[in-house]
Amino acid sequence: MNLKIKLIVILLSLITVKIAVCQRPVINPCSNPDGGERAFFTVRYFLTAPIMADARVQAGVTNETVEQIRPIADANICSMLNQIVSSTPKYANIDGSLEADRTKYYFRTNNFYYIFWNKKPEYDNLPNTGLKKLFIVISADYQSRQDFYF
């Protein structure tokens, strides 16, 4: 009887260890939930630069302020935005062919989400050269979307 109890305890211990070790890690769909200085500047530039005034009117973000800018850390919102990126061939192509020093950023203000690809935060102190980059503005209800290049 005592041997049966020991075997059951050992078996339960092995099962518990197996379950604990084999759990999949939780992956945050927000690629950079802390943002970065250059990424924050990109959104600030869109919201404040005089040259972007027509784009702000076109996207409807005229009432958004710099004080409202923040990186998105909510996994549910990032999942929805990732669905939009993966279901749009143009966005999915950019997302799938990122260079090693670039990443996708998710920012928001009170009524809009912003998706764009830029240098990773560890490269913030290096010059950003090259072609214009895609900057996507999506309404908070996910119903309207505008693409801009700058």
- How is the chain split into domains, by residue range? 29-149
Least confident segment among 43-47, 86-90, 130-134, 145-149? 130-134
Q: Are strands 70-71 and 134-139 parallel, antiparallel or unpaired?
A: unpaired
- Residue 24: pLDDT above 50? no
Range with lowest mean pLDDT among 15-19, 87-91, 126-130: 15-19
Neighbouring CB atoms inside 10 A of 42's CB total 23
> Which tokens in the block code for residue 84?
């939009």
Q: How confident is the model at residue 136 (pLDDT cuts 50, 70, 90)?
A: very high
The pLDDT of residue 133 is 86
Are residues 55 and 132 in contact, defined by beta-carbon separation less than 8 angstroms? no
3-class DSSP state of 117: strand
The confidence score (pLDDT) of residue 21 equals: 52
pLDDT band at 25 (very low <50, low <70, confident <90, very high): very low
